[in-house]
Amino acid sequence: MNPVGRTTFGVEDVMALRSQVLARSSALRDVRSASEAGRAFAPPQAPGAGFASTLETALQQVSAVQEHSSAMQVAYERGAVTDIAQVMLARQEAGVAFEATLQVRNKLLTAYQDIMRMGG
């Protein structure tokens, strides 16, 4: 991509990197949507076990995303992974998953507090 001996990083280089990141992000979305479509056909759970198991599954998925991000970062630091875009994408994904988990926790806490106020 860059000629040998070239030390500047131009707009063309940035745009090329951007298009690579967008292409990989699109491929990741396609893989993720295909895997989620496969999960949509899971057998229904028994009533009462739905909320707890759904919450547990969601927390396990967030934990797995964070572990993957950590593994990617360690692999990059060791030189096993040389694509910084993959590492940054994994970090962003882990950050978004964690932020979403915090928002769900906050909503559940607010709902619990509202219910407790109604009883008294």
pLDDT in tens, 38-79: 555 555 555 556 778 888 999 999 999 999 999 999 999 999
Q: Give the tens place of pLDDT for each residue, 2-14.
A: 455 555 667 777 7
Within a domain: 86: yes
Within a domain: 60: yes
Give this prediction's pTM.
Answer: 0.56
CA distance 56 to 61: 9
CA distance 40 to 64: 19
The domain of 105 spans 51-119
Task: Look at the chain and report how many structural domains it folds into.
Answer: 1
Torsion of CA 99, 100, 102, 108, to 10 degrees: 170
Within a domain: 107: yes
Give residue for tokens 């926790």.
105
Provide the pLDDT confidence category of residue 23 given band limits of 50, 70 and 90.
confident
Within a domain: 31: no
Within a domain: 74: yes
Within a domain: 108: yes
